[in-house]
């Protein structure tokens, strides 16, 4: 999930950089609007797109492999079978993992965003409910106290203190927002911000599209009145602005300086300055529309990246050992390996090295298992060892029964107080290996853990395993090696 979030943010940053460098100053306002809406949505979809054609076209050595999140580093052997991991929890403390903390923070932030959005919605509802209404074409005009001028969906809110000329221009301006459905754009970004509240780029997207909305409205209204008259009204007064971010406002507050006819004016309206400059900027020629084609190589690069990146999934040696064993079993009666089969072995060896971090791992293959060899590979053995109480079952059922019995024994007998007199805390992984010999005895027990106390306790518990019915192969009782991962949480 973390890789998906990082890719999404990276793609949004690239889309914004392209907009800032090439598109922001152009007067293609409608195209800029759709660009911001489209690229913000694409950034969430592209990380999920993997095109097999691209992946197969690029050699594997040039493909990108994202870092794996490893749960542990158990020892790997082709002659052992790994039992399902056993979870042992200490009752002395509540365990909170990093992922749980991250999810909790995300949920808290989203709840806060929902509450804030609901507060702004309630404030807007009060404007609608408590103020008189007028009709303007297919819009509803609400007369509110002060000098507000903003719109939302089919509502236009005009301050009662506005002059007649200011009210008329604000009314026309806000009606354009309604006709072009700008409120839906802002609501879309509000929802994205609510879910991804931690992503600052979504706030930048919303700011950019708000500016584009104003440029669109200004451009439309100056088709009917002169730009000079319109700019004079903008400079005549500074309106108070609502703090509701999903409304289209006639003015936005911030201190700025504007030079007009060699005279410097300071007024509390940075957005007005940008709008006036954009109104008087030279109209972009249609030949500059080629700049939007720059998004194509950018999209191509993103698709290549997502298609050829290989995120290594959380893995344990249980899966790796099983793959090796299955391949060995399928090739058991062959005298030699084909190039394709040898390539499979090399791929498994590479994966084993990656997961364990040990370049000395040996992955060996013998055409046929020799009876003199000991122990017998688990995938080859004809009859698996049987735990007391699991007699009379088929191989698969006996394996499942043994796993359950061993897990219960370890969970019930593991001393969770082992950490009280040491600095052991958090999640600890213990890897145990043992052999069930030809007489059914549990021998050659080994353990590996971050702390000696855990190794000692794991060995003590494994030595409590009872004598079992030994495994059989080709009419002989044989030895089988097992490995058992134990997760201890304190």
Q: What is the pLDDT of residue 490?
A: 62
Give the domain ranges of the chain: 2-68+94-304, 374-490
pLDDT band at 45 (very low <50, low <70, confident <90, very high): very high
For the segment 336-351, what is each residue's pLDDT rounded down to a tens digit? 556 566 666 666 656 5
pLDDT of residue 317: 45
Would the pLDDT of 208 be above 60?
Answer: yes
pLDDT at 80: 57
Supply the CATH classification number for the domain 374-490: 3.30.1150
Q: Which of 38-47, 167-176, 239-248 has the lowest mean pLDDT?
A: 239-248
Q: For a pLDDT cut of 90, what percent of the chain falls above it?
A: 22
pLDDT at residue 268, rounded to an integer: 42
Q: Is a pLDDT exceeding 90 seen at residue 3?
A: no
- 375 pLDDT exceeds 80? no
Q: What is the pLDDT of residue 396?
A: 84
Please tell me which residue, 151 or 251, carries the higher pLDDT value. Answer: 151
Identify which of 195-204, 303-312, 399-408 has the greatest average pLDDT. 195-204
Give the pLDDT band (50/70/90) at residue 374.
low
Instruction: Find the mean pLDDT for residues 265-291.
Output: 75
Residues 412-454 pLDDT 10s = 888 877 766 666 666 778 888 888 888 989 998 888 888 888 8
- Does the pLDDT of residue 124 top 50, yes or no? yes
pLDDT in tens, 294-327: 999 999 888 888 877 655 444 444 455 555 555 5
Provide the pLDDT confidence category of residue 52 given band limits of 50, 70 and 90: confident
pLDDT averaged over every residue in the chain? 75
pLDDT band at 198 (very low <50, low <70, confident <90, very high): very high
Q: 295 CB contacts (<8 Å, ≥6 apart)?
A: 15, 18, 35, 39
Q: pLDDT value at position 480? A: 85
């Amino acid at each position: 999930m973390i890789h998906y979030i990082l890719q999404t943010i990276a793609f949004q940053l690239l889309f914004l950089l392209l907009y800032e460098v090439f598109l922001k100053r152009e007067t293609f306002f409608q195209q800029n609007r759709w660009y911001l809406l489209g690229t913000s949505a694409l950034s969430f979809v592209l990380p999920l797109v993997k095109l097999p054609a691209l992946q197969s076209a690029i050699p594997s050595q040039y493909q990108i492999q994202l870092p794996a999140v490893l749960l542990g580093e158990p020892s790997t052997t082709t002659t052992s079978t790994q039992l399902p991991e056993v979870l042992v929890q200490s009752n002395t403390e509540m365990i909170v993992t990093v992922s749980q903390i991250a999810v909790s923070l995300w949920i808290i932030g989203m709840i806060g965003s929902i509450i804030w959005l609901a507060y702004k919605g309630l404030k807007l509802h009060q404007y609608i409910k408590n103020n008189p209404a007028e009709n303007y074409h297919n819009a509803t005009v609400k007369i509110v106290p002060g000098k507000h001028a903003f719109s939302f969906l089919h509502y236009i809110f005009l301050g009662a203190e506005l002059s007649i000329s200011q009210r008329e221009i604000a009314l026309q301006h806000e009606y354009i927002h309604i006709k072009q459905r700008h409120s839906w754009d802002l609501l879309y970004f509000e929802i994205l911000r609510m879910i991804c509240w931690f992503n600052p780029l979504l706030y930048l997207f919303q700011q950019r599209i708000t500016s584009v909305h104003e440029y669109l409205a200004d451009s439309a209204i100056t088709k009917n009145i002169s730009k000079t008259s319109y700019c004079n009204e903008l400079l005549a007064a500074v309106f108070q602005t609502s703090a509701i971010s999903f409304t289209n406002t006639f003015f936005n507050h911030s201190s700025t300086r504007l030079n007009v006819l060699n005279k410097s004016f300071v007024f509390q309206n940075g957005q007005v300055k940008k709008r006036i400059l954009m109104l008087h900027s030279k109209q972009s020629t249609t030949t500059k529309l080629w700049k939007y084609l720059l998004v194509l190589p950018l999209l191509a690069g993103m698709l290549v990246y997502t298609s050829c990146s290989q995120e290594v999934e959380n893995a344990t040696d249980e899966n790796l050992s099983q793959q090796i064993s299955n391949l060995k079993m399928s090739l058991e009666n062959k005298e030699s390996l084909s190039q394709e089969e040898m390539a499979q072995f090399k791929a498994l060896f590479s994966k084993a090295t990656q997961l364990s971090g040990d370049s000395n791992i040996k992955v060996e293959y013998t055409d046929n298992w020799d009876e003199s060899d000991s122990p017998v590979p688990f995938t080859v053995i004809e009859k698996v060892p049987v735990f007391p109480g699991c007699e009379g079952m088929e191989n698969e059922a006996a394996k499942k029964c043994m796993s359950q019995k061993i897990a219960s024994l370890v969970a019930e007998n593991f001393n969770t107080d082992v950490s009280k007199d040491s600095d052991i805390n958090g999640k600890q992984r213990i890897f145990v290996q043992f052999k069930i010999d030809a007489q059914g005895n549990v021998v050659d027990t080994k353990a590996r853990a971050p702390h000696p106390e855990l190794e000692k306790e794991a060995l003590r518990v494994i030595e409590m395993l009872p004598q079992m019915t030994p495994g059989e192969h080709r009419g002989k009782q044989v030895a089988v090696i097992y490995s058992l991962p134990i997760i201890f949480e304190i």
